[in-house]
């Protein structure tokens, strides 16, 4: 008998054999591109800590989504930056707010050819930068008063044309509150993608520059999940599904692939993974120094997230990846 008998390299010998044997596919249709729209600017404003990303105007976001649709990207998720902030974050449910304007323009332009997801949070809209109403007592944020406001925001986003509402503030009961508000207002068909396993991560830094949403004091550790909280994340996912989440998210993605894997195996709803701003910035920073090959690193990052079990990937790489994979 010749040695070794098991020669796995036989199926890796040529590009054609490797292609035939590839276990996980990458496709633009799984990708969700995060986009920022800012009120009161005339031209798009580049975001230094997120190379290639900008704060959009309404016309520029329409143009950007046109390119993404053309490239086959499955969905976009919108974040708004209002001209004025206040203690309650009332810009978030303004019928003429920046996200509502963008949603209406995108729906008009693209009809049902792209999925429109609206991120639902108050941190971009409050003057203190927290994700809900400040509490009187020891808690930073008043959970239950915040839920009422989330309901209003969800309804205004649905009215403006969102297919999916994605609450990212990690308040307890947010899915039930939003589901109830949507159903009452005549939007039973609008879906909820819950940021269920959202960890209090150091990797949101560039996003907070982009969304102008860093908390003015304190931190988000009393509402976002602890980075060591594997079981805490599973409990939270279970709860959000019980409250009616149509899909759930794990965030960040790369640093929490173990959580992603487990959520995929235990639950049957679609699972999204958010490759966050810091994960994107890391790859770009290394590539700028010539320490990594950008395209190869990008594809490997996205492949790892798919392999761990993500159905959908929220990523700032969406456009570059779609271009690379098409070519
Ligand atoms: C707002 C929100 C954040 C992100 C998405 N929605 C920031 C935060 O929680 O502070 C982070 C996304 C990213 O880093 O790419 N609640």
Convert the pLDDT of each residue in 75-124 to its tens digit.
999 999 999 999 999 999 999 999 999 999 999 999 999 999 999 999 99
Q: Model confidence over 133-151: pLDDT tens digits?
A: 998 876 789 999 999 999 9
Q: Annotated catalytic sites, by residue?
A: 198, 251
Return the residue whose CA atom lies nearest to atom 11 of ligand 1.
204
Contact 252 CB / ligand 1 (< 6 Å):
no
Share of the chain above pLDDT 70, in %: 99
At 138 the pLDDT is 66
For 20-61, the pLDDT digits (tens) are 999 999 999 999 999 999 999 999 999 999 999 999 999 999
b (16+ CB within 10 A) / e for 41-56: beebbebebbbebbbb
Q: What is the mean pLDDT of residues 14-21?
A: 95
**How far apart are the CA of 67 and the centre of ligand 1, in A?**
24
User: What's the rounded mean pLDDT across residues 195-210?
Assistant: 94
Task: List the one residue out of 27, 29, 47 whose CA is nearest residue 37.
Answer: 47
Predicted pLDDT at 221: 87
Q: Which residues pair with 192 in a beta bridge?
A: 165
Q: What is the DSSP string of 93-138?
A: G-TTSHHHHHHHHHHHHHTTSSEEEEEE-STTTBSS--SSPBPSSS
pLDDT (0 to 100) of residue 3: 82
Q: What pLDDT was estimated at residue 46?
A: 96
pLDDT for residue 214:
85
pLDDT class for 216, splitting at 50, 70, 90? confident
Cβ(168) to ligand 1 under 6 A? Answer: yes
What is the average pLDDT value for the chain, to the nearest integer? 95
pTM: 0.96
| In the chain, domain spans | 26-326
| Residue 321 CB–ligand 1 contact under 6 Å | no
Q: Which of 81, 276, 278 to mutate to test the pocket of ligand 1 (most atoms within 8 A of CB)?
A: 276
Q: Is 166 in the pocket of ligand 1 (CB under 6 A)?
A: no
Q: Is 204 in the pocket of ligand 1 (CB under 6 A)?
A: yes
Is residue 315 pLDDT above 80, yes or no? Answer: yes
Give residue 210's pLDDT. 86
Question: Taking the domain 26-326, which CATH number applies?
Answer: 3.20.20.70
């Amino acid at each position: 008998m010749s040695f070794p008998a098991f020669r796995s390299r036989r199926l890796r010998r040529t590009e054609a054999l490797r292609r035939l044997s590839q276990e996980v596919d990458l496709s633009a249709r799984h990708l969700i591109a995060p986009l920022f729209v800012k009120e009161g600017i005339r031209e798009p404003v580049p975001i230094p800590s997120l190379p290639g990303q900008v704060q959009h105007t309404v016309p520029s976001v329409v143009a950007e989504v046109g390119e993404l649709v053309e490239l086959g990207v499955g969905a976009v998720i919108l974040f708004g930056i209002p001209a004025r902030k206040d203690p309650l974050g009332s810009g978030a449910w303004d019928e003429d707010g920046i996200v509502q304007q963008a949603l209406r323009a995108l729906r008009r332009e693209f009809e049902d050819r792209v999925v429109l997801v609206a991120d639902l949070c108050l941190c971009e809209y409050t003057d203190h930068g927290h994700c809900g109403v400040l509490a009187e007592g020891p808690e930073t944020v008043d959970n239950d008063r915040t839920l009422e406001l989330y309901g209003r925001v969800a309804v205004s986003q649905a009215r403006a044309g969102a297919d999916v509402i994605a609450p990212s503030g990690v308040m307890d009961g947010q899915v039930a509150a939003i589901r109830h508000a949507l159903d009452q207002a005549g939007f039973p068909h609008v879906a909820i993608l819950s940021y269920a396993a959202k960890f209090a991560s150091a990797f949101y830094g560039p996003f907070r520059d982009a969304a102008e949403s860093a908390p003015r004091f304190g931190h988000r550790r009393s509402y976002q999940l602890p980075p060591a909280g594997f079981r805490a994340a599973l409990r939270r996912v279970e709860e959000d599904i019980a409250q009616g989440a149509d899909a759930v998210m794990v965030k960040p993605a790369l640093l929490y692939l173990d959580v992603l894997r487990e959520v995929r195996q235990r639950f049957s709803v679609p699972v999204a993974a958010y490759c966050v701003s810091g994960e994107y910035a890391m790859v770009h920073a290394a590539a700028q120094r010539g320490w990594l090959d950008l395209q190869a690193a990008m594809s490997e990052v996205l492949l790892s997230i798919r392999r761990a079990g993500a159905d959908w990937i929220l990523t700032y790489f969406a456009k570059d990846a779609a271009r690379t994979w098409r070519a």
